[in-house]
């Protein structure tokens, strides 16, 4: 009698352990990567109190807060790849390899999490240099390489990615070349985005902005939900931090939920990614859960 009670407790214990959640939720394990909505940190490397900064939390803090999609702007500087805002003279957030090392360290201790990076490469740095940074950061081991160009319905589930330990998906906007580096995927083949640098606080628009001419059929899509201020109408845009509580709210006028609803009506599916500045402000995770039906 006592033995069988322990036996059942033991079995229950095993089941609990083996049914580890995927990106924080059991219900996401069986969902395809292309059928989840993720809140993303826009310009995730620009952290601090400068007017040009986009985030309060560093990348480790963003990951700890539940963010699994990160964008970063890269530039060629001092013969290396740096994370800089427009130019390294304006804002220099250090070398790519340090940023990747922070992400790798976090992924090492969080084995059930799938992370996505969207790197911009406006300086057309050779993609092999990015691979060097991945190798030096020790993060290449987690990269995901699709077997071929994936259609929307062909993406693996989160559980597939976690079981194979290929939990890092990388997209690049420019100069990717999968013949040279197989895991750095051309963003335009998989994702489209709405207009960025919006200065209208109710986010009334959800039309596709990039790549130009695409209607987005069959692709995942990214919504740019971060608000800028046009400083004294000079055309110089800086993040509107004061408005972030309303912009990053789950519901209400100009909120994440409100723009996502508009986009869902227009595109027939929920957004795959919603990019925010200041992911520590507002209630992004509630918005994400709502959009995933959790
Ligand atoms: C990230 O921020 C946390 C909290 O402020 C801090 O403890 C940690 O050292 C930072 N990590 C890095 C790599 O700067
Ligand atoms: C996931 O699939 C459901 C059911 O078809 C759909 O309602 C939802 O919009 C999809 N989400 C994404 C992000 O594609």
Q: Residues 215-239: pLDDT tens digits?
A: 677 899 999 999 999 888 888 899 9
Identify the pLDDT of residue 6: 56
Ligand 1 centre from 89 Cα, in Å?
24
Domain extent at residue 267: 28-291
In a domain, 21, yes or no: no
pLDDT at 7 over 60: no
pLDDT at 14 over 50: no
Q: Which atom of ligand 1 is nearest to the CA of 102?
A: 13
Ligand 1 centre from 267 Cα, in Å?
38
Q: Which atom of ligand 1 is nearest to the CA of 58?
A: 1
Q: Considering only 46-50, 107-111, 209-213, 216-220, which range has the smallest mean pLDDT?
A: 209-213
In a domain, 229, yes or no: yes
In a domain, 87, yes or no: yes
Identify the pLDDT of residue 87: 87
Q: If pLDDT is split at 50, 70 and 90, which confidence band does 194 have?
A: confident
In a domain, 164, yes or no: yes
Identify the pLDDT of residue 8: 54
Q: Which atom of ligand 2 is nearest to the CA of 31?
A: 1
Residue located nearest, by CA, to atom 2 of ligand 1: 58
Residue located nearest, by CA, to atom 10 of ligand 2: 35
Task: Note whether 83 and 117 are within 8 A (CB).
Answer: no
Identify the pLDDT of residue 236: 87
Ligand 1 centre from 275 Cα, in Å?
22
Mean pLDDT of 90-119: 96
Identify the pLDDT of residue 213: 65
Identify the pLDDT of residue 195: 82
Between CA 99 and CA 281 the distance in angstroms is: 22
The β-bridge partners of 77 are 80
Between CA 156 and CA 153 the distance in angstroms is: 9
Mean pLDDT of 97-120: 98
- Mutation test residue for ligand 1: of 60, 70, 83, 94, the one with most atoms within 8 Å of CB: 60
Which bound ligand lies closest to the C-alpha atom of 93?
Answer: 1
User: Which residues have CB under 6 Å of ligand 1?
Assistant: 58, 60-61, 102
* Residues known to be catalytic: 42, 85
| Of 256, 206, 261, 195, residue with least CA distance to 228 | 195
Mean pLDDT of 268-292: 97
The β-bridge partners of 81 are 76
Ligand 2 centre from 31 Cα, in Å?
10
Identify the pLDDT of residue 149: 92
> Which tens digits make up the pLDDT trace of 136-154?
999 999 999 999 999 999 9
* DSSP reduced 3-state for 208: strand
Q: If pLDDT is split at 50, 70 and 90, which confidence band does 91 have?
A: confident
Identify the pLDDT of residue 10: 53
| Of 147, 149, 181, residue with least CA distance to 164 | 147
Mean pLDDT of 256-265: 96
In a domain, 142, yes or no: yes
Task: Note whether 65 and 23 are within 8 A (CB).
Answer: no
User: Which residues have CB under 6 Å of ligand 2?
Assistant: 35-37, 269-270, 272
Residue located nearest, by CA, to atom 7 of ligand 2: 269
Ligand 2 centre from 177 Cα, in Å?
30
Identify the pLDDT of residue 16: 46
Which bound ligand lies closest to the C-alpha atom of 272?
Answer: 2
pLDDT at 103 over 80: yes
In a domain, 284, yes or no: yes
In a domain, 226, yes or no: yes
Between CA 206 and CA 17 the distance in angstroms is: 41
pLDDT at 1 over 70: no
Q: Which atom of ligand 2 is nearest to the CA of 37?
A: 13
In a domain, 171, yes or no: yes
Count: domains in the chain: 1
Which bound ligand lies closest to the C-alpha atom of 61?
Answer: 1
54: domain CATH number?
Answer: 3.20.20.190
């Amino acid at each position: 009698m006592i033995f069988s009670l322990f036996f059942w407790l033991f079995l229950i214990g095993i089941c609990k352990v083996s049914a580890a959640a995927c990106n924080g939720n059991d219900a996401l394990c069986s969902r395809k990567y292309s059928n989840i909505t993720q809140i993303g940190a826009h310009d995730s490397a620009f952290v601090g109190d400068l007017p040009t900064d986009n985030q309060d939390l560093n990348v480790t803090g963003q990951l700890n807060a539940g963010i699994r999609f990160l964008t970063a702007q890269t530039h060629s500087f001092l013969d290396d790849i740096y994370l800089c805002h427009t130019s390294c003279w304006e804002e220099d957030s250090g070398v790519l390899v340090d940023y990747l090392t922070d992400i790798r360290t976090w992924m090492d201790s969080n084995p059930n999490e799938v992370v996505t990076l969207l790197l911009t490469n406006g300086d057309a740095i050779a993609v092999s240099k990015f691979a060097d940074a991945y190798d030096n950061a020790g993060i290449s081991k987690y990269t995901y390489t699709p077997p071929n160009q994936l259609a929307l319905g062909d993406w693996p589930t989160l559980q597939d990615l976690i079981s194979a330990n290929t939990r890092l998906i990388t997209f690049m906007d420019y100069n990717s070349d999968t013949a040279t580096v197989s895991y750095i995927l051309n963003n335009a083949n998989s994702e489209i985005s709405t207009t960025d640098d919006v200065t209208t606080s109710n986010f009334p628009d959800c039309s596709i902005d990039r790549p130009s001419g695409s209607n987005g059929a069959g692709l995942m899509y990214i919504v740019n939900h971060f608000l800028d201020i046009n400083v004294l109408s000079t055309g110089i845009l800086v993040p509107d931090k004061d408005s972030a509580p309303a912009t990053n709210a789950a519901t209400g006028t100009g909120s994440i939920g409100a723009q996502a609803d508009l986009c869902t009506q227009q595109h027939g599916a929920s957004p795959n990614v919603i990019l925010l500045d200041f992911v520590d402000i507002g209630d992004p995770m509630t918005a994400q859960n709502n959009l995933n039906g959790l």
